[in-house]
Amino acid sequence: MKNNKKLLISSSAKKTIRESVLLAKELNTGIEISRLPIYKTKGLTVADTINILKSDLEGFNNRVTVHAMFSDINIAGQDYLLREIAEQRCYQSYEVGKALDADTILYHTGNKGTKHYGSIEIFKKNFISFWKEFIKEFEKAGIIAVIENVFETEPQFCLDLFEKIGSPNLKLALDAGHVNLYAHDTTVTEWIKAYGDNLHHLHIHNNFRTNDDHSNLENGTLDYNEILTMIKNSNVNPSFVLEMFTEEDIRKSVEIFNKIMY
């Protein structure tokens, strides 16, 4: 099977990262390392995490991307102590990605959709201030950082952040399942058109608009035949991550993906 450098699976596909790496190797896809060990194990260092992941990736020669730590992280919050911890996690994720030779590192915005007076403006100000400095690390290393939507209800929110940071090493990631769950007034294809050439990375999974199920491409209300065909016939050329958490869903989705795209 010819390796498709644009198709990756999540390292959460199996119970351990090593098992997921072996599955990706068998399927001849890339892998996105998610849920970095450092975030849930007290006393584990960045160096420890890098050593663990290098061991997990031993013998794997396909593409590697990294999903930065995201649990409880908001680098644009108003509490400066919490911001400092969030910023530290962002830098640690970068260090791990760089050590693993990842070409892309993905970050959530951390936006929770709060609508208190002035909260959105404060969020954007703090977010942009941090990223204008942080992105310089990516520029020096030649790595692409991507910002992913979660609770955002329309594409312009992430586009505004992206445009105001203004770096060739910053691109956009689109999570189709999150659009289906949280952005009921817009469609995935509308987000893809809005992002255009700035769409670098695409998480694909499905749900029924009630829970973030991360199910296979056929198990939900998203029509991936429409979505993938639209991308296939456009000038948009993102990477695709099958972000599902069972081997059965991964295998089924690889089959569906290849049938539509090739």
Query: Which one has a higher pLDDT value, 103 or 4?
Result: 103
| Tens-place pLDDT, residues 30-65 | 999 999 999 989 999 999 999 999 999 999 999 999
In the chain, what is the straight-line distance between the N-terminal and C-terminal CA atoms, in Å? 13
State the pLDDT confidence band at 117, using cuts at 50, 70 and 90. Answer: low
Give the per-residue pLDDT at 85: 96
For the chain, which residues make up each domain, given as ranges? 7-261
User: 71-114 pLDDT, tens per residue?
Assistant: 999 999 889 999 999 999 999 999 999 999 999 999 999 998 77
If you average pLDDT over residues 186-192, what whole number do you get? 98
pLDDT band at 116 (very low <50, low <70, confident <90, very high): confident
Instruction: Note the pLDDT of residue 256.
Output: 98
Mean pLDDT value across residues 104-132: 90
- The yes-or-no verdict on residue 2 having pLDDT over 50 is no
Whole-Å CA distances, 15 to 21, 57, 190, 246: 11, 15, 35, 9
Residue with tokens 């312009």: 156
β-bridge mates for residue 175, sequence order: 203
- Categorize the per-residue pLDDT at 119 as very low, low, confident or very high, splitting at 50, 70 and 90: confident
CATH number of 7-261: 3.20.20.150
- Does the pTM of the predicted model rise above 0.95? yes
Give the pLDDT score at 78.
Answer: 86
pLDDT band (50, 70, 90) for residue 261? very high
Q: Which tokens belong to 164?
A: 């105001």
CB atoms within 10 A of CB 81: 8
**SS3 for the chain, per residue?**
CCCCCCEEEECCCCCCHHHHHHHHHHHCCEEEECCCHHHCCCCCCHHHHHHHHHHHCCCCCCCEEEECCCCCCCCCCCCHHHHHHHHHHHHHHHHHHHHCCCCEEEEECCCCCCCCCCHHHHHHHHHHHHHHHHHHHHHHHCCEEEEECCCCCCCHHHHHHHHHHCCCCEEEEEEHHHHHHHCCCCCHHHHHHHHHHHEEEEEECECCCCCCCCECCCCCCCCHHHHHHHHHCCCCCCEEEECCCCHHHHHHHHHHHHHHHC
Tens-digit pLDDT profile for residues 145-166: 999 999 999 999 999 999 999 9
Any residues with CB less than 8 A from the CB of 59 and at least 6 apart, and which? 25
